[in-house]
A and B are shown apart, each in its own frame.
Chain A
Amino acid sequence: MAIEIPDGRPVFVKVADRLTEAIAEGLVADGERIPSTTEISTAYQINPATVLKGMNLLVDRGLLEKRRGLGMFVTAGAGRSVRERRRRELLNGRFQDLVEEAKALDVSREDLDAIIERVYQ
């Protein structure tokens, strides 16, 4: 019954998540430069130190690398590694939750299969 759950995650974590999403969706490809802290900061009105902290989180995760004087770049293989991680999270997490919830609501196996078949086409 919670209608609105305020998202209280720290802003630098949200920045890191959005960048990860952009890498997963291929908006920035391996080896490409991502926008600078200044560009992101003014475009989204986020404190530049916060933006940098979010980026550094992805440097620690091996998705971004700093190139002195040039900016921040997506590492080789980052896109694939993010998508692979997402795939695992989907199959081990959300997808299983969904099936369990469907089962709890008495959705039949046949109906589930039919939906999967239809949507997958």
Chain B
Amino acid sequence: MSLTVSKVDKSYGKLKALDEISLCFEPGNIYGLFGRNGAGKSTLCNLMTGRTLPDQGLVHLDGSDLVSDSRIARRVALVNETWPYPSRRHIRQAFAMAEGFYGDFDWHLAERILKSFALRLTDTFASLSMGQRQVVKDVIGLCLPVEYLILDEPTTGMDAAARERIYSFVLEAYQQRGPTMIIATHIINEVSQLISRATIIDQGRVLRSFSVDDLSALGTTVTGRPRDVEGYLAQGDPQLLSRQRIGDLLRVSFEGPVSDEQPKGLIVAPMDLQTYFVQITEGAAQ
């Protein structure tokens, strides 16, 4: 059982949004789908729910073609910037419409989330602030009985406290019903503890795909006097990601793990997810 994208091409006019991209999302994970603005995240999210059709290639759920088999569409939900429900009716009606299509909406969880954000089922979408609207969209996704839930920028317009709270509910929903989740965002620090796997895309292609438990083995930063840093680098043959002067000091980063010994006069540190992301997407752009 998995959601797979195989060799998918998608262009908008001359712009190539996805370039022969292949990915596989296995059940039981929370995936982080990362990319800079315009990397192709949203196009990919739309494709995986059949909202956009590929020019080339296939999207499968458990071996069934998502494009030609409309029953599949009910097993995958997408929360993104769109609001395909009436804006001037009570949000209760939007929830009921979603239930009509996907079935078995978790009203209990929905009311709890709304209450914690001081929202009511009788509020209308049009009357809400941007952050509140995002909460309502997230509620729909989190309360549906789907196997795959794709959240495209799920905290748009929310303040820090609200973002934390919604992610707590994301985890609660994940543990209650256990949908496989794919969270697309460019704010990586926000979800770095939430996810079990990360996929980084850039210019419509997959740059990296890895388990976050392997993170300390992914990249390393070394700071020190240039002579010491060069000496350290000369011991191995690391694949450099960046090289930066800070005053008289040199900071380099490279792929691969930190060695056990801490050389004198150098600060050697494993890269966190955000730094690694920035480094490799910078490298790819050059």
A interface residues with partner B (beta carbon < 8 Å):
1-2, 5-13, 38, 41-50, 53
Contact = CB atoms under 8 A, between A and B. Distances in A.
Contact of B269 (A6, A47, A53): A6
B274 interface: yes
B193 A11 contact: yes
B270 interface: yes
B247 to A, nearest CB: 7
A2 B221 CA distance: 11
12 contacts: A5-B267, A6-B274, A9-B216, A9-B270, A10-B213, A41-B171, A41-B175, A42-B168, A45-B167, A46-B193, A50-B196, A50-B213
Query: 3 closest A-B pairs (Cβ-Cβ)?
Result: A8-B270, A6-B272, A8-B272
Given A7-B272, A41-B175, A53 B213 contact: yes
Contacts of B216: 8-10, 13
Interface string B247-286: 1010100000000000000010111111110000000000
B175 A38 contact: yes
Contact of A10 (B30, B164, B215, B223): B215
Interface centre among B28, B193, B215 (most CB of A within 10 A): B193
Contacts of A41: 171, 175
Contact of A50 (B168, B193, B223): B193
Contacts of A12: 213
